[in-house]
Chains A and B, each alone.
Chain A
Amino acid sequence: MPTLREVKKRIRSVISTKRITNAMEMVAAAKLRRAQQRVEQSRPYSKKMDEILSQLAAGSTGEIVHPYFEEREVKKRTLVIFTSDRGLCGSFNSNVVRKAQEWIAAHRDGELELVTVGKKGNDYFKKRSWPVVNYYGDWGGSLDYDKARNIVRFLTDRFVAGDTDEISLLFTRFLSMVKYRISLEKYLPVARPEIKTDESEMFKGSKDYIFEPDAEKIYAALMPGYATTKMVTALVESFASEHGSRMIAMNAATKNAGEMVQSLTLDYNKARQAQITTELTEVVSGANALKG
């Protein structure tokens, strides 16, 4: 049986932990709101981008010539892994890492390399000496455009130079507050845009686009933007998921701490009562002894 003072100390420490987790939950909630907004605001742009790309494909005659579309025999694969910089976000990182392990196991026979975004994933794979060719960390849980562009430049240069033949992104998609999905998406080569055949009424008879200056040059201008948009999408989705996971984890921690305080208080009261009982017995038996 722990002494009264020990129990009291324990209660105080749990209460202060509870305060911390509660504060972290609130911070995560605020960051999540911003991240969620970011996700929603970036959606119309990427949707339009897809539309233009597919209309460009439909309207331009002949082959699309742009290095990002080039499909080669896959000798070397690159996986970009999106984790968080900081922990205390439940199973967020371990889920991503587990998927990454599965991917590595599936492609082990060929050459492969990793690019890590976020400290947690980087630490994990560095420690196990997987070939991490580049690492991007210190995001502070929000999007940095220049950094995102650096990643895009690194990946596209690597792909165009033939250092890798296929690049995939592994990140967590934010579906709702309680629903996340780990998503593995091909980044490069870019899948050839689908040519839409069932155009809505509005577009009928008006499919002959004028391209200025010409389709090839527009592709050349459009593709880097397209690659950046995809990267930004992966980043903002991942950040939103991170904050969501942290919020849920911290909420659970706060609740657990509350329960713990309750049961410890119970222990404390029991111990206190036991002490009083012992004292009473002593007093009574002392008095009896005097009488006798």
Chain B
Amino acid sequence: MFHLSIVTPEKSYYEGEIKSLVVPGTEGYLGILSHHAPLITALMPGKIEFRDEHDEVYIMAVSGGFLEVSGNLATILADTVEDADKIDIERARAAYEREKKRLISAGKGETDIDLPSVRAALARAANRIKIYEETH
């Protein structure tokens, strides 16, 4: 067992003792168990999955951030995070279509588009949709 806290700029999202944790690191998904060696990694848009002390499984969508593990304490600094069953699927799909259109118009030569931010937004929307579909 180890302690997990998930904080976002808006609020503290989760705080509690857990048994295992899987996060989307920049180099791929990685699992954390108790007494993991100290670690700092950046996170990609993806799925956070963990099992609390009562063996209940939590699945959340994260849009990026950081994970720090030290002394049996894991902290996730997330840009945004949502429970899988609280994902606003309509909004995610709308965002996906919107960003896709912008990407296409950028491909057609429109220069007034910030490509990295459009790609990031597209990845976030795609991630929400994927997690929603996995869990529903």
Contacts and interface: CB of A to CB of B under 8 A. Distances in A.
Interface residues of B, number: 27
Contacts of A229: 9
A208 B42 contact: no
Contact of B40 (A38, A45, A52): A52
Contacts, number: 86
A213 B7 contact: no
A44 B6 CA distance: 10
A49 B77 contact: yes
A55 B7 contact: no
B8 interface: yes
A56 interface: yes
Contact of A217 (B9, B10, B37, B42): B42
Contacts of A208: 37-38
Contacts of A211: 39-41
Interface string A250-268: 0000000000000000000
A42 B7 CA distance: 9
A218 B71 contact: no
A45 B8 contact: yes
A222 B12 CA distance: 19
A246 B8 CA distance: 29
Interface string A213-224: 100011001100
Interface in B46-82: 65-66, 68, 70-73, 75, 77, 79
Nearest to B72: A202
A3 interface: no
Nearest to B30: A212
Interface string B3-19: 00101111110000000
A207 B27 CA distance: 22
Given A45-B8, A209-B39, A213-B27, 13 more contacts: A41-B11, A45-B77, A202-B70, A206-B70, A208-B37, A210-B38, A211-B40, A212-B27, A212-B30, A218-B66, A222-B42, A222-B66, A225-B77
Interface of A: 38, 41-42, 44-46, 48-49, 51-52, 55-56, 59, 202-203, 206-213, 217-218, 221-222, 225, 228-229, 232
